[in-house]
A and B are shown apart, each in its own frame.
Chain A
Amino acid sequence: MMLFHRLQSVIAATLKIDPAALGPQSSSEDFPAQWDSMGQVNLIMALEDAFGLFIEPEDFGALKSVAAIDAYLRQAGVTA
């Protein structure tokens, strides 16, 4: 759950979404006004900042839900 909370706070702060509205099942489709293609670029930058990653452009498009990002981070070795 620690990872989810960190993720929740990064997504909320970057996209200006209420953290309480972000659950483990949330995706970009739930926030069309904030999590649009522009928001996605900002989110990629923020995820790199927060988790010390370098994300390949090929992966940009897949990271559009909390679950997908969670899985990506775990695969990249981020655990908490």
Chain B
Amino acid sequence: MALAPQVSERLLAIGDRQTLAREALVQSSTLSLADLRALAAHAATLTTEPTPVRMAFVHTYTSELLQPWLEGAGALLGLAPLTYHAAYGVLHGEAQPGSALAEHRPDITVLMLQREDLHPALQRPLAALDEAAAGQLRAEVLAQLQQLVAAFRSQPVGHLVLTLLPPMAGPALGSYEPQAEHSESRFWARLLDDLGQWLRQNVPASTYLDLAELVGDIGRRRAFDRRHWLTARYPFSAEASFEFAMRLLGLAQLLKTPRAKVLVLDADNTLWGGVVGEDGVDGIALGPDYPGNAYLAFQRRLLDFQQRGFILAMCSKNNVADVDEVLATHPHQLLKAEHFVARRVNWEPKPDNLVALAQELGLGLDSFIFVDDSDHECAAVRARLPQVEVVQVPKRPHEVPGCLDQVARLEVLSLTAEDRAKTHMYQAEQQRRQLLGAGQAAGGEFQHLQRLGMRMSVQLDAHKHVARLAQLTQKTNQFNLTTRRYDEHQIAAFVASAQWLVLDFSLADVFGDSGIVGLAMVDLASPQAARLDTFLMSCRVIGRCAEDAFMHTVLCAVQRRGFGVLHASFRPTAKNDLVQGLLPRLGFQPDGRADGDYLRDLANSPPQLADGFPIQIDWADRAEPVPTMKIPPQ
């Protein structure tokens, strides 16, 4: 198949690359390779500079035929993939130091495996196996996968993406499969569940990309082409090739470009059908019947994105009272006031509102996804704020519930406790600001910070925090002395190394717990002097003296390990002006070698508690347990 000429013409007239990428996915059922090439060429004219991404493929079926689809998908997502395909069937050989794959220095390594490769018994029907035999086989297959994954993970192969080719045939036992006592479906469901949990707990920077989900999404009969499978060992139809390539490049986009964090939602004709100011609270379309059920389904989907760790904000041209009334009283309104971390309901230009929202939330505009039905508002935001991704809500209600499903940046590579609790954390922050705002007049800064009753919990070399710590190095731009980005694999290595101190903290107060929001990493390799490699903090806790308290623990930890000097540096970027003066303020002296290089002489000026900070520090430093410190304010 190929795109109908009018569809092709419409896509080639789209002037926004991100919209083009999403629309291409909507049309994937008829998109041919030639169509993709044409769209990719158009996308290239809409991209100033594609971001290079180095990819490696290890495969036991043909991966090279995916190549043109990878290039096309890359162009649509603003990426330039540089690919290396290992020789067919070579697995462990590439998981060695100095292998051609390692030399390629991939950002992403994709394992394209067939189930049958994992164990000879998998070539035969599994339904004949009894419970014990199936359990034994499952353990062996899992062990085989674990061994392979661990071998690659031990090498610098970037983010590891594991895939298993789903079966091309339907269930072995036909319609009876779900009721059967023993079945292949159950065997694989249980195995993949074990595998997923094992990956999450033990393998940093890894993703199981579920091709069965992809095949289910487009349909098994459409996903495969047995002619190419049987003649060229390539299983996928054009449609599945494109979808697979877009998912892989979507992961690359998450790794290589700014993360999305916020969905900014319009209200009228987005959260509900109609205009509340004109139709009234009772007149808007929202409820069990068409078209109101489309908007209800969309609200339900938005809650899914919130569960992934994206926060919701509202930006609507409306009377505040009307919107408040819908949120509070409409019987079918699913999203309530507490689901939004911030709302801008007024008649100001939306770009101005987005700038204000970014400031209020302490987030960059490049982390915003703006969702609105209006041509005018979408155009205004694209023109004034090109760093904001704009998604126009479809006019046809039945297309609304799925309108964000093609946004690759709404995928996540990990899900931490912080992600799940993010909305609550931002709400606590708003209450905190109100309290502090009220306290400004009443007393000094120190005194009003005291009202928060802050407790800092510091952890050393916390293996369990690796995913979050990597995320912090990737996401933190403003309060970051050196802006060194590390993936989970690298962080895990620092945590395991005796030559590095990895300290993190979370901050709790009367409004809630921030989760892990700060990271310091100290290189102890040189016996003469320790070096502060990384010192960063999430914007969420800025302005609460947390940096003073955290640096104090870092200095104490370094000093107790016998070091007299801690070197540190400030590496300026476009976004970290905030910390330009931090090191001198925290007692570091310029070391006279280069601009931005500092040292702290711990022998002559040991860490002092005299200045104090209104934070109680709890920490467990296994090297030498220290009693809890409580620093009373002066």
Interface residues of A (CB under 8 A from B): 10, 13-14, 16, 37-38, 41-42, 44-46, 49-50, 55-57, 60
Q: How far is the CB of B418 from chain A (nearest CB, A)?
A: 44
Q: A38-B62, A45-B225 are in contact. List 10 more A-B contacts (CB 8 A).
A: A13-B34, A14-B33, A16-B37, A41-B228, A41-B232, A45-B33, A45-B228, A49-B2, A49-B32, A50-B32
Residue of A nearest to B71 (CB): A16
Provide 16 A-B residue pairs closer than 8 Å at the C-beta atoms, listed in order of the A residue: A10-B34, A13-B38, A14-B37, A16-B37, A41-B65, A41-B232, A44-B228, A45-B32, A45-B33, A45-B238, A46-B32, A46-B33, A56-B227, A57-B230, A60-B227, A60-B231
- Majority SS at the chain A contact face: helix
Residue of B nearest to A51 (CB): B2
Please tell me if B64 contacts chain A, counting CB pairs below 8 Å: yes
Q: How far is the CB of A10 from chain B (nearest CB, A)?
A: 7
Give B62-89 as 1s and 0s: 1 = Cβ < 8 Å from A's Cβ atoms. 1011011000000000000000000000
Give B236-254 as 1s and 0s: 1 = Cβ < 8 Å from A's Cβ atoms. 0010000000000000000
Contact B238 A49, beta carbon cutoff 8 Å? yes
Give CA–CA (A80, B300) in the complex, Å.
51
Contact B34 A49, beta carbon cutoff 8 Å? yes
Q: Which of B208-267 contact A (CB under 8 A)?
A: 225, 227-228, 230-232, 234, 238
Give B329-358 as 1s and 0s: 1 = Cβ < 8 Å from A's Cβ atoms. 000000000000000000000000000000
- Residues of B with C-beta under 8 A to A50: 2, 32, 34
Give CA–CA (A79, B34) in the complex, Å.
21
Q: How far is the CB of A28 from chain B (nearest CB, A)?
A: 15
- Residues of A with C-beta under 8 A to B234: 41
- Residues of B with C-beta under 8 A to A42: 33, 65, 68
Q: How far is the CB of A7 from chain B (nearest CB, A)?
A: 12
Q: How far is the CB of B34 from chain A (nearest CB, A)?
A: 4
A-B contact count (CB 8 A): 47
Q: How far is the CB of B4 from chain A (nearest CB, A)?
A: 12
Please tell me if B1 contacts chain A, counting CB pairs below 8 Å: yes
Give CA–CA (A40, B499) in the complex, Å.
54
Give CA–CA (A32, B227) in the complex, Å.
23
Give CA–CA (A54, B251) in the complex, Å.
34
Give CA–CA (A41, B231) in the complex, Å.
9
- Residues of B with C-beta under 8 A to A13: 34, 37-38
Give CA–CA (A54, B96) in the complex, Å.
44
- Residues of A with C-beta under 8 A to B37: 13-14, 16
Sort A-B residue pairs by CB-CB distance and give the 5 closest, nearest first.
A49-B32, A13-B34, A49-B2, A57-B227, A38-B64
Which of the residues B34, B62, B228, B231 comes within 8 Å of A14, measured between beta carbons?
Answer: B34
Give B350-388 as 1s and 0s: 1 = Cβ < 8 Å from A's Cβ atoms. 000000000000000000000000000000000000000
Most central of B33, B34, B64, B232 by chain A CB within 10 Å: B34
Contact B1 A49, beta carbon cutoff 8 Å? yes
- Residues of A with C-beta under 8 A to B231: 41, 57, 60
Give CA–CA (A46, B31) in the complex, Å.
10
Contact B34 A37, beta carbon cutoff 8 Å? no
- Residues of B with C-beta under 8 A to A60: 227, 231
Q: How far is the CB of B364 from chain A (nearest CB, A)?
A: 38
